[in-house]
Every structure is written in structure tokens, then in C-alpha cells.
Structure 1
Amino acid sequence: MPERVDERGPERERELPGGAGRPRGGPLRAFGLAEVYNPSMVPTLQPGDQLVVQYGVAVRPGDVVVLRHPFRQDLLIVKRAVERRDGGWWVRGDNPYVENDSREFGTVPDELVIARARLRVRPPRGIQRSPGAVLSWAFSAVRLLRADRSLSRRLRAR
């Protein structure tokens, strides 16, 4: 099954004139939402997770990014930027059993990396509506996505 991310925000990137690749407007226009559909980033991200993404920011090794698939540019995917190489970014999924990443398609040109994930929101799944259950979900559901330097070094070593 191909990997897919549903991108939602004030403007979708593909709707921009001239292929500019980034939303225009004020500072809030630089943010959008994306939904994860596939398990390539497990355990960091699960299918159904929502991502708050930021457009037009610098990418660093270890960042979780949304990019266009190099062979199917209408398909958006989520990967971890591992390192800079000639020609772009080497990206990998956190799930070692899914190889739909740079091991399959090589480096990804900078213009195909469209956003950096800032925050993960995990939707509630089967929780009770008690205040304790809601608080427990709230503390575990929202997580900042920061560059994981140790993970990016481990991925390069493989």
C-alpha cells in the first residue's frame, strides 16, 4: 500500500500559483495540518496521528519532514531527515520494516521537502470520558517533535 499524508491548512501547497511551494501571508499562514496514514514512522508516529507542520523553515538532521515522493510528486509522505548529501536530503522512516524511503528512491531534492513537523497530536482511541482519562490522554497525546540526534546517527550507521 503506498504511503500517503493528507495535508490540510490555510492553503494547500499544490494550489499555489507558479509552484512557489510555500503558503503566502502572515506568520500563521506558515502552519498547516497533515494526517499520517501509514506505519513508516512507527513508533514516533502512528496512523491517524495529526501533525502541525511549518512551511519555509530550515531542515536539520533528525527533523521529521513532509515531502513529495520523488517518483510520485502528487503523493505526500512523512520521513525523518537523516543527513544532507549531494543533491538533497537522505530521509528514512523510523520503522525499520518499511523501506519506502531513501534506501528505495535515493536523495530527495530540497524543493520536494515542503514542511517540517512541529507537533504531533494523537486522537483519542477508546478512552472513557472521565476527567482522569481525559487528562491522561491529553498528557500523552500532544508531543513536540524535535530533532532526535541520536536516532539520526543510528540510522546513518546502518
Structure 2
Amino acid sequence: MRPRLSTVLVRGPSMAPALKDEDIVLVRWGAVPRPGQIALVRWASRPGQLSVKRVSHPVDGGWHVRGDNPFASTDSEQLGAAEVLGVVTARLWPRPGFRL
């Protein structure tokens, strides 16, 4: 089975400067992240909310993730371990790029 790819719209400033509000990224669903990669995640305490965060390290129950902007991010520091749903592989719009 081939990995499923889809686009995701980034909302908010938590990943600036790497990603900005309204950037469109390509996500590979089900991919296992490596520390330093950006991933699409959710938390058990907020199951209806998806977030884009940088993967730090594995922890019991998931992954420790953080936003690149410490002044505008809610992440594992507040919400605990995150479930990684997929890995961001590229920014498609407005500044295409593969190194995030």
C-alpha cells in the first residue's frame, strides 16, 4: 500500500519562521517521524484539534513536540505527549520548499 499524501493549511503563528499562517504543506500520513521533522499531530485532551509541530523525542504515550515560536505555541509543554498522524514533507504554497 502506498503512503497517503494530502495537503494541510497551516493556521496560526506557532511554527514561525519555518511555517507561517496560511502556508499549505504536504503531509505523508502514517509516516514515522524523526526528531527535528515537522509533523501533523493531535492530543488526547484535544482530539478534534490538529496541529503542526516539530518533533522532539519519543515519550511514553506518544511524542514530545514543540512549536518553533515559543511565544505563540501550545505544545507538549502544556498538553503532554502528542499522537503523530503524519510527517510534513514539503511546503507547497506560497514559498515552495523541502527543507523545513
Tell me the TM-score normalised to structure 1 length. Answer: 0.59
Q: CA deviation at 1:30?
A: 0.8
1:87 Cα offset (Å): 2.2
- For residue 103 of structure 1, the aligned residue among 70, 77, 81 is 77
CA RMSD between the two structures: 1.5
Distance 2:59 2:43 in 1: 17
Over 2 Å off, 4+ runs: none
Q: Residue type matched to 2:92 in 1?
A: V
Contact conserved, 2:90 with 2:98, CA < 8 A, in 1? yes
Following superposition, the deviation at residue 145 of structure 1 comes to 3.8
Cα distance per residue 1:19-60 (max 9 Å; x no partner): xxxxxxx52x61001000110000000001001000122111
Structure number with the higher strand fraction is 2
Question: Is 1:142 aligned to residue 72 of structure 2?
Answer: no
Alignment of 1:2-151 (within 5 A): 27=2, 30-108=4-82, 112-123=83-94, 141-145=95-99
Unaligned runs of 5+ in 2: none
1:81 shift after superposition: 0.5
Between the aligned residues of both structures, percent identity stands at 34
Larger Rg: 1
TM-score (norm. length: structure 2): 0.90
Q: How many residues align?
A: 100
C-alpha separation in 2, matches of 1:70 and 1:98: 21
Maintained 8 Å contact 1:31/1:53: yes
Where does structure 1 lack aligned partners over 5 or more consecutive residues?
A: 1-25, 124-140, 147-158
More helix by share: 1
For residues 77 and 71 of structure 1, the distance between their equivalents in structure 2, rounded to whole angstroms, comes to 13
Return closer, same or farther for 1:99/1:48 CA change in 2, 3 Å cut-off: closer
Give 1:68 shift.
Answer: 1.6
